[in-house]
Amino acid sequence: MVQFLLKRLLAAIPVALGVSILAFSMSHLTPGDPVTIMLGARATASDIARLRHELGLDQPLPVQYWNYLTNALHGDLGTSIRSGQPVTKEIAARIGSTAELTGAAMLIAILVGVTLGTLAAVSRSAIAETIIMAFALVGISMPTFWSGLLFIMLFSLTLRWLPVTGPGVAGLVLPAVTLALPAAAVLARMTRSSLLEVLGQDYIRTARSKGVTSASVTLKHGLRNAFIPVLTIVGLQFGGLMAGSVIVESVFARPGIGRFAVDAILARDFPQIQGIVLLAGLVYVAINTIIDLLYGLLDPRIQVA
What's residue 111's pLDDT? 92
User: Other C-beta atoms within 10 Å of 295: how many?
Assistant: 19
Count Cα atoms within 13 angstroms, Cβ side, for 221: 20
Residue type, 137: L
Question: Across the strands, what pairs with 146?
Answer: none
What's residue 134's pLDDT? 86
Count Cα atoms within 13 angstroms, Cβ side, for 127: 0
What's residue 105's pLDDT? 92
d(CA 278, CA 146) in angstroms, rounded, equals 29
Complete domains list, the chain, with CATH:
95-304 (1.10.3720.10)
Q: What is the dihedral of CA 13, 18, 19, 23, to 10 degrees?
A: 140
User: Other C-beta atoms within 10 Å of 84: how many?
Assistant: 7
Q: What is the pLDDT along the chain (305 residues), one digit of tens a residue?
A: 667 677 777 878 888 888 888 888 876 776 666 677 667 667 788 877 887 787 777 788 888 888 888 988 888 888 887 777 888 999 988 888 888 888 899 999 999 988 888 888 887 777 877 888 888 888 888 888 888 899 999 988 888 888 887 777 888 899 999 999 998 988 988 888 888 888 777 777 777 777 777 777 777 777 777 778 888 888 888 877 877 788 888 888 888 888 888 888 887 788 888 888 888 888 888 888 888 777 777 666 665 55
d(CA 80, CA 260) in angstroms, rounded, equals 12
C-beta of residue 112 within 8 angstroms of C-beta of residue 186:
no
**DSSP-H helix ranges across the chain:** 2-29, 34-39, 45-55, 61-73, 87-122, 126-141, 144-151, 170-199, 202-209, 214-216, 224-251, 257-267, 270-298, 301-304
What's residue 203's pLDDT? 75
What's residue 304's pLDDT? 52
